[in-house]
Structure 1
Amino acid sequence: MSSGFEVIKAGAFTLIEDKGRFSFMNIGVTNSGFLDEFAALKAHKILNNSYDCNLLEITFAGIKLKATANTIVSITGAKCEFKINSIEKSTWQSYNIKKDDILEITKILKGQRVYLAVKDGFTITKELGSYSTTLKEQLGAFEGRVLKNGDYLPFSEQKNFLKKRLKKEYIPEYKDELVLRVVLSYQQNSFSFKEKEKFFNSIYTITPDLNRMACKLSGESIKSELNGIISEGIAFGAIQIPKDGQPIILLKERQTIGGYPKIGSVLSIDCFKLAQMRPGQKIRFEEISISLAQEKLKKFYSNFIQ
């Protein structure tokens, strides 16, 4: 058997993801990719991995892995109970794993998604230029499905050791309320001043309709003067306003086109924070200019230059 992890327990919704699958939206293939880029990229940075590597995105606790060879891992994302050989360990740092070690995530305490990276990534094959699992198109690792018990995650054995952790001040706190910054869209004029004012002064609740495709909110109803539009491409973070007036934020596995008016688009780095929210938690919106949004993005990605 090659070196890797035996999947003893897969958890309810564990996926292999990377930065995403690009340049195929014209044929209806969505981007996919890890939802919380901050946590995922930090997991790679801790290991000195290429940012093009893949990792595990773990949405529910209950995953249990057994190493068949030595390697190095890092754990970031949601606050969780992470154990090695039944001993609880801290997250946002690296661990040297030995053959026969057992890794477990037994509980997610705050946040929604945990990221587990292995040194140099899992040795699997790309599909359409990406390792990412895209469920609706059934692309990516393991025939485009979630991880299941009995799967095997191959990696290259590591003989070196690494001890690295993220400083405490850089570890995010996952709270019950989140402010999302929004760049107004070119369709903003179809929303009256009163409707836009209502949108930016309301508190919305995240509904159970929260997944990798989108986040549907519940709260003040927003109305557009447009009854509908000709279907067009949809950006990551776009906020659709359907006929019921309840905002929908489109995420990494969004449909590639849609016909609802869009009041604006959530700043992508705020969508990463949204990926750690849960149903029942609260959202507010705040307007941001395009120029300031670009500055924020440049500053964010400057932390991940290789």
Structure 2
Amino acid sequence: MSLEVINSPIFVTIQDKGRFSYAHIGVTASGVMDEYAYYIANMLLGNSYSENILEIAFSNFQLKANSNTQIAVTGAICEVFINEKPYSSWQTINIKAGDIIKIGKILSGSKVYLGVKEGFKIQKEFGSYSTTIKENLGGLNANRLLKGDILPINEKLTYHKARLKECYIPKYEDTLDLRVILSYQDEFFNKEQIDKFFSSEFTITNEFNRMGCKLSGESIKCNINGIISEGISFGAIQITNDGQPIILLKDRQTIGGYPKIGSVLSIDCFKLAQAKPNTKIRFKLIDIKEAQKKLKEFYNSFN
């Protein structure tokens, strides 16, 4: 009872919410880049909200079903084929043994999520299924998926189907507004530099992966050259020596020594995860109380 990888995908990993409470020994949180798409996939399938899922970063990924199951594809808008027949994403699809599942071109966005009923039956490491390649943890053999990999699943034959309403399906745009909480070392940036940071438009560079997203634009000057290395949160915005911001994401290092002007609201990082190089970024200030309110609203919406 399994799904089998039948081509050579470029970068597909198994992820869940991530692993926590291990930063003190240098283990990053990891986890899905777009939690909205992740939660919706598990909701459609009737899974636990902590179930594992496939995160697909590039086009052309193919699986063969060796048993009956049900899948849901969410995230980036993409071509979905079952035995060469096209299907829409953001819905459940019933799969029979022998079916060929193909994720074709990614049309809008950049991360596709493929969940399966009751998840993949693999072992957790440090409390998580998430693949962290640089730390040799999680997933299937602590690596991205390769041709011939076998993903164990439970046999499930169901006739129930679910589809997300159109109004809840995200639209992936070429310009993003990211809300920022001023924090960390913002006192080391004078008012002119902070004003420049919030009034400028930045561009996502090709240096964008699961660890972080480097931007290009107006140079932001800091009054200090560096800091003693310290812990780093999801969404922290480092200002490097060249004055360009780096937004740190799920596979970020656990400590760092660049000054940080603030932190992107985590739920906005999920939108950032679906962006592509050359996307335009603008930052908007949000205070801590409003940020906490938005976070509660997001996660409570899945209860």
**2:58 maps to which of 46, 57, 60:** 60
The answer to whether 1:46 aligns with 2:78 is: no
- Name the structure 2 match of 1:71: 69
- Name the structure 1 match of 2:151: 153
CA deviation string 1:11-59 (max 9, x = no partner) = 2000000000111100000000000000011000001100111010000
- Name the structure 2 match of 1:105: 103
CA deviation string 1:199-248 (max 9, x = no partner) = 00111110110000000000000011111100000000000001100000
- Name the structure 2 match of 1:201: 199
> TM-score, with normalisation over the residues of structure 1?
0.98
CA deviation string 1:102-156 (max 9, x = no partner) = 1001100110000000001000011111000001101012222110000011100
> What secondary structure does 1:195 align onto?
helix
C-alpha displacement of 1:10:
4.2
Amino acid across the alignment from 2:64:
K
Distance of 2:47 and 2:24 partners within structure 1: 31
Equivalenced residue count is 303
Q: Residue 74 and residue 172 in structure 1: after superposition, are their counterparts in 2 closer, same or farther (change >3 A)?
A: same
C-alpha displacement of 1:301:
0.2
Determine if contact 1:75/1:117 at 8 Å carries over to the other structure: yes
> What secondary structure does 1:80 align onto?
strand
Amino acid across the alignment from 1:187:
Q
- Name the structure 1 match of 2:243: 245
Q: After the TM superposition, which parts of structure 1 deviate over 3 Å for at least 4 consecutive aligned residues?
A: none
- Name the structure 2 match of 1:283: 281
- Name the structure 1 match of 2:33: 35
Distance of 1:138 and 1:60 partners within structure 2: 22
Percent identical: 59
Distance of 1:288 and 1:187 partners within structure 2: 16
Distance of 1:99 and 1:268 partners within structure 2: 39
Determine if contact 1:82/1:106 at 8 Å carries over to the other structure: yes
The answer to whether 1:180 aligns with 2:188 is: no
Distance of 1:218 and 1:9 partners within structure 2: 36
Distance of 2:274 and 2:50 partners within structure 1: 22
> What secondary structure does 1:9 align onto?
coil
Amino acid across the alignment from 1:180:
L
Determine if contact 2:122/2:140 at 8 Å carries over to the other structure: no
Determine if contact 1:187/1:262 at 8 Å carries over to the other structure: yes
Distance of 1:75 and 1:288 partners within structure 2: 32
- Name the structure 2 match of 1:8: 6
Distance of 2:150 and 2:247 partners within structure 1: 34
> TM-score, with normalisation over the residues of structure 2?
0.99
Range with greater deviation from structure 2 (168-177 or 6-15): 6-15
Distance of 1:269 and 1:261 partners within structure 2: 22
The answer to whether 1:301 aligns with 2:299 is: yes
The answer for unaligned runs of 5 or more in structure 1 is none
- Name the structure 2 match of 1:86: 84
- Name the structure 1 match of 2:127: 129
**2:268 maps to which of 267, 270, 291:** 270
Distance of 2:74 and 2:157 partners within structure 1: 23
Determine if contact 2:70/2:157 at 8 Å carries over to the other structure: no
Distance of 1:254 and 1:159 partners within structure 2: 39
Distance of 1:168 and 1:204 partners within structure 2: 30
The answer for unaligned runs of 5 or more in structure 2 is none
C-alpha displacement of 1:69:
0.6
C-alpha displacement of 1:303:
1.5
- Name the structure 2 match of 1:117: 115
**1:255 maps to which of 253, 258, 279:** 253
Determine if contact 1:95/1:162 at 8 Å carries over to the other structure: no
- Name the structure 1 match of 2:209: 211
C-alpha displacement of 1:280:
1.1
